[in-house]
Amino acid sequence: MSAAGTDHLPPASPEGQHGNAYEALNEGDDPRWAYGTGFADPLAGVDTAVPEGVDAAELAAYCLMLGDDALIMSHRLQEWCARAPELEEEVALANIALDLLGQARLLLARAGAVDGSGRDEDTLAFQRDPGEFRNVRLAEVPNGDFAHTTARLLVFATWRLALLDRLAASRDPVLAAVAAKGVKEVAYHRDYAAGWVVRLGDGTAYSRERMAEGLAAVWPLVPELFTPHPAERRLARAGVAADPAAAREEFDATLAQVLTAATLPHPAAPRRDDAPGGGAPGLDGPSTPSPDLRKPSAPGPGSQEGALGRDGAHTPALDGLLAELQSVARAHPGARW
């Protein structure tokens, strides 16, 4: 497209040299013009057929789970725009949000293609109701302060990296391709978050307290990450999905390493004196989520005891998040964007 209609411009101004700023800057068709949006199809050349013996509906449901995780986590990071503690952090948080948004788009598109509904990424993102979202609740809880955000991001990225690492060998070529690309991105997200957990944990007395509180706040949401949905379990056995339960050990080891560097106590350990050195991580099992976090947002099919984000049971925070995310799209039925 000749974007700015530059060919209609009147003759260059008398000074000539750079009479047309746009033309001077846009020689040729720079592929970056839609920067971060990818004109190049990242799945070009990848076989998109559903692998033999795999239940298409289950594969679609699984793509939604991983796609929704990324979409909702990205949204929470987008909320930091113009609020970050330093400009470098503005850039980094937006970068991470963009990576996750890119992953979400590929996974939602795959879900809609595989389930035969023909729903595209936007239909899935903007036209589903909260109970149809399959993300873990860790992704949806509201942002707290910067320490809460880094705690959540460390947990999320460490978990997701362990999953994507395994998924890179998936029998589904699309999931394998998405995971191979995502591993590089999420490895950076984890390093970024770990760097800040260490800085805040080993920073001032105040930052140490904030960091410990941030970790404590997200910790009840950790067990859900490692509780496989039946579809995940079946797909994992078929060599398509990554079984989250199998990723726990790697997750615990990484967290222990970061917490040691940050001189922080393990959030699952009983709270005690904050003195540095008192923070040997207790490598105990998952703690029990506090009861209110297990409560779904509304009574209904998803409200059975023990239902999780993967079943469509969410905290009330997801309602507000989606109301914002979907507001413009839903206000304009039939619109083109």
Partner 1 sequence: MAVLEEHFERTIEKDRRVEPRDWMPEGYRATMVRQIAQHAHSEIIGMQPEGEWITRAPSLRRKAILLAKVQDEAGHGLYLYSAAETLGVDRAELTLKLIEGRQKYSSIFNYPTLSYADVGVIGWLVDGAAICNQVPLCRSSYGPYARAMIRICKEESFHQRQGYELLLTMMAGTEAQRSLVRDAVDRWWWPSLMMFGPPDDASPNTARSMAWKIKRHTNDELRQRFVDMTVPQAEALGVTLPDPCLRWNAERGHHDFGEIDWSELKRVISGDGPCNAQRVGVRRAAHEDGAWVREAAAAHAAKAAARATGSPDAAGRAATAGGSAAGAGDGAGAAARAGATA
Residues in region 193-212 near partner 1 by CB under 8 A: 195-196, 198-200, 202-204, 206-207, 210
Q: What is the largest CA-CA distance in the chain?
A: 76
| Least CB distance to partner 1 at residue 290 (A) | 27
> Is there binding between residue 37 and partner 1 (CB under 8 A)?
yes
- Asked if 291 touches partner 1 (CB under 8 A), the answer is no
Task: For partner 1, give the closer residue by CB, 69 or 252.
Answer: 69
Q: Count helices and strands (H / E) in the chain.
A: 14, 0
Distances (CA, A) of 19 to 2, 3, 11, 12, 163: 18, 18, 8, 5, 53
- In the region spanning residues 66 to 125, those forming contacts with partner 1, defined by CB under 8 A, are 71, 75, 78-79, 81-92, 94-99, 101-102, 104-105, 108, 121-122, 125
**Whole-angstrom Cα distance, residue 117 to residue 57?**
10
CA–CA distance from 46 to each of 24, 50, 120, 337 (Å)? 38, 12, 18, 28
78 vs 227 by CB, closer to partner 1: 78
Residues 210-229 touching partner 1, rule: CB under 8 A, are 210
**What 3-state class would DSSP assign to 296?**
coil
User: H or E segment at 96?
Assistant: helix 87-114
* Least spacing, CB of residue 86 vs partner 1, in Å: 6
Part in contact with partner 1 (CB under 8 A); list of ranges 31-39, 152-160, 212-220, 235-243: 31-39
Taking the complex as a whole, how short is the minimal distance between the CB of residue 30 and partner 1, in angstroms?
A: 7
Residue 90 CB, nearest approach to partner 1 (Å): 4
The gap from C-alpha 335 to its chain's centroid, in whole angstroms, comes to 27
What is d(CA 235, CA 259) in angstroms, rounded to the nearest whole number?
A: 33
Q: Which of residues 148-167 bind partner 1 (CB under 8 A)?
A: none
* Amino acid type, 39: F
Among residues 30 and 249, whose Cβ is nearest to partner 1?
Answer: 30
- Determine, following the binding rule CB under 8 A, whether residue 253 of this chain makes contact with partner 1: no
Calculate the dihedral angle through the C-alpha atoms of 130, 133, 137, 143, rounding to the nearest 10 degrees: -60
For partner 1, give the closer residue by CB, 272 or 336. Answer: 336
- CB of 111: closest distance to partner 1 in angstroms? 13
Of 152-160, 165-173, 308-316, 323-331: span binding partner 1 (CB under 8 A): 323-331
Among 56, 142, 184, 278, binds partner 1 (CB under 8 A): 184
Buried b (16+ CB within 10 A) or exposed e, 45-79: eeeeebbeebbeebbbbbbbbbbbbbbbbbbbbee
Q: Write out the binding residues for partner 1, residues 120-149 only, by CB under 8 A.
A: 121-122, 125-126, 145-146
Q: Whole-number minimum distance, CB 197 to partner 1, in Å?
A: 11
Q: How far apart are CA 87 and CA 34, in angstroms?
A: 23
Nearest approach, Cβ of 20 to partner 1 (angstroms)?
7
Q: What is the DSSP string of 155-178?
A: HHHHHHHHHHHHHTT-SSHHHHHH
d(CA 268, CA 216): 8
Alpha-carbon Rg of the chain, whole angstroms? Answer: 22
